[in-house]
Amino acid sequence: MMVKTEKRRDNQERIIPLPDWFDIPDDWSKNEKRVQEAIKRACKKLAKMKNNPDYLKIHPHSFRHWYGTDLYAKTKDLVLVKERLGHSDIKSTMVYIQLVQTGKPKYEVKKIDIENADEIQELVKTGWEIAVQTDKWIVFKKPIWI
């Protein structure tokens, strides 16, 4: 579900996507004020139910950040995220890359013969790091952010 918000500084409306689990009845008016109130009520209820005040920090814009981060994590397409979020400058969208990359990385690994200078040079040029080296081979690793 998408919810329109009030006009921004540049006089454009923003769209805030809400996750599927955030259920609002079909016959209910989806104006911004009512949605914001519903989110606040749901977060207060969760904070009390789970005895966790962090739920009170959630606000409608949190869903927008969640959506942008999730979309980037799934697609790795920064231009798509920029367009979907309505950013006029790609710099605003760059924050979603940083959020995704703060998780624990998994690594792709390659074992290369130490005498294969061309392949070693190519791996280093393309961002691979040395994980282990012996007198016969080098193991390179490169993070895969999921």
Residues with pLDDT less than 50, the chain: none
Tell me, yes or no, whether 27 and 83 share the same domain: yes
Tell me, yes or no, whether 121 and 60 share the same domain: no
* Separate counts of helices (H) and strands (E) for the chain: 6, 5
Instruction: Give residue 116's domain range.
Output: 106-144
For the full predicted model, state whether its pTM sits above 0.85. Answer: no
Give per-residue pLDDT as tens, 122-143. Answer: 999 888 899 999 999 999 998 7
Per the structure, the count of domains in the chain is: 2
Closest CA to 67 of 35, 96, 40: 96
Tell me, yes or no, whether 9 and 80 share the same domain: yes
Reading the block at residue 88, the tokens are 């006029």
What pLDDT shows up at residue 40? 85
Residue 105 CB coordination number (10 Å) = 13
Backbone phi, psi, residue 92, to 5°: -65, -30
Closest CA to 75 of 67, 64, 65, 86: 67
Tell me, yes or no, whether 94 and 136 share the same domain: no
